[in-house]
A and B are shown apart, each in its own frame.
Chain A
Amino acid sequence: MELLLIFMLLFMILAGIVALWTDELLSAVIAVGAVGIGTSVAFLLLGAPDLAITQIVVEVVALVLLIKVTIGVGVRTTSGTPSPKRLRLAAAVSVLLLLVMVRSFTGLPEFGSPVMERVDDAPSIVYLEEGLERTGSANQVMSVLLDFRAYDTLGEATVIFTAVFGALVLLRKKGKKDREDADGGEDEE
């Protein structure tokens, strides 16, 4: 079980490195799709089927989006490789960050024993024990998402609305240049 998870994680790291290494943009997009599907399988192993379903569907749509922006406009390869100076800087920053993170992991509980096992009055225990009678929902993730913590979900809906609205505004008929040539800019959607 844990071995399978480690295997999935190694697969994802490998796919991520391939996605950054290759010059072909299509291969990079497919490799990042492999990372997403690895995440989905890992969620399934970790007892989170809701997340696995969501991740796999989201990954498919994201893949379509990314292919649209690469093959759709006819760009197939990256031009030129990053300079060695840039590579060294990136390697230094990421290795430093890795060391800091590994150092800070000593304060976390062991893998397989969540915080709610240590703390007696953790909110998760209340959600698990009283979720069914207080919300009537058999799926405790949904009872947390839409009942106990629905306020977060409202904020999340706002974020999606803002992101989509921003995308639609960017895809308006007139680009910036054309708008400056024409009148000031009262062309709201």
Chain B
Amino acid sequence: MNNRSLIVSRVSRWVAPLIFVFGIYVALYGHLSPGGGFPGGVILSSAFILTLLARGREATLKRLPFGVAKKLDAVGALLFLCIALVGLAVTGVFFANFIQQRLPGEPLRLFSGGTIMPANIAIGLKVAASLFLVMFALSALRISTDEKDEPIRTLEDK
């Protein structure tokens, strides 16, 4: 797979970090402007998908190894659950917004909204890691239509 266009790979090297930063911004400012964890996560993963499509799997793995993505997926889900459980421990209500109840931030500033910002970060991590995992697994899959007997290539034997 060395027939990739030089222009595409060069431009993607410049554009991918910008997409990445935009994804972080969308996820962090979810409680103030349109956005939030879900679109932020998809934008973050699309930065990696761009690298994957334009520059191949080795360049992508250098930036985000497969094992790390798996762990980030689990960390995102567990972080979200932890926020809920801490709320249960502090106030006695599952998913209680304990930060906002104890020390409310100034409205319409970045540090307001209590648990909403950490929850957005958790969801963003989870969505980004899951989509990256699926896309990467799909890109690793090569199907030979001619000889069916040959087992397909997947992740393990790269």
Contact = CB atoms under 8 A, between A and B. Distances in A.
Are A and B close enough to touch in the complex, i.e. CB under 8 Å? Answer: yes
Interface of A: 49-50, 52-54, 57-58, 60-61, 64-65, 68, 73-74, 132-139, 141-143, 145-147, 150-151, 153-154, 157-158, 160-161, 164, 167-168, 171-175, 178
A145 B154 CA distance: 37
B105 A136 contact: yes
B95 A136 contact: no
Contacts of B49: 61, 64
A168 B39 contact: no
B134 A143 contact: no
Interface stretch (B2-10, B55-63, B106-114): B106-114
Given A61-B49, A73-B143, A167-B134, A136 B155 contact: no
A135 B115 CA distance: 9
Secondary structure call for the A interface? helix
Contacts of B30: 139, 142
Contacts, number: 147
A137 B31 contact: yes
Contacts of B73: 161, 164
B133 interface: yes
B34 A160 contact: no
B106 to A, nearest CB: 9
Contacts of B46: 57, 60-61
Q: Which 7 A-B pairs have the closest CB atoms?
A: A49-B34, A137-B31, A137-B113, A150-B95, A164-B130, A54-B39, A136-B113
A137 B39 contact: no
Interface of B: 26, 30-39, 42-43, 45-46, 49, 53, 73, 76-77, 80-81, 84, 94-95, 97, 100, 104-105, 107-108, 112-116, 119-120, 123, 126-127, 130-131, 133-135, 137-141, 143, 145, 151-152, 154-157
Secondary structure call for the B interface? helix
Given A134-B100, A143-B116, A74 B145 contact: yes
Contact of A171 (B39, B107, B155): B155
Contacts of A142: 30-31, 36, 113, 116, 120
A142 B33 CA distance: 9
20 contacts: A50-B34, A54-B42, A61-B49, A61-B131, A64-B53, A65-B138, A137-B31, A138-B33, A138-B108, A139-B35, A143-B116, A146-B120, A147-B97, A147-B116, A154-B81, A164-B134, A168-B137, A171-B138, A171-B140, A173-B156
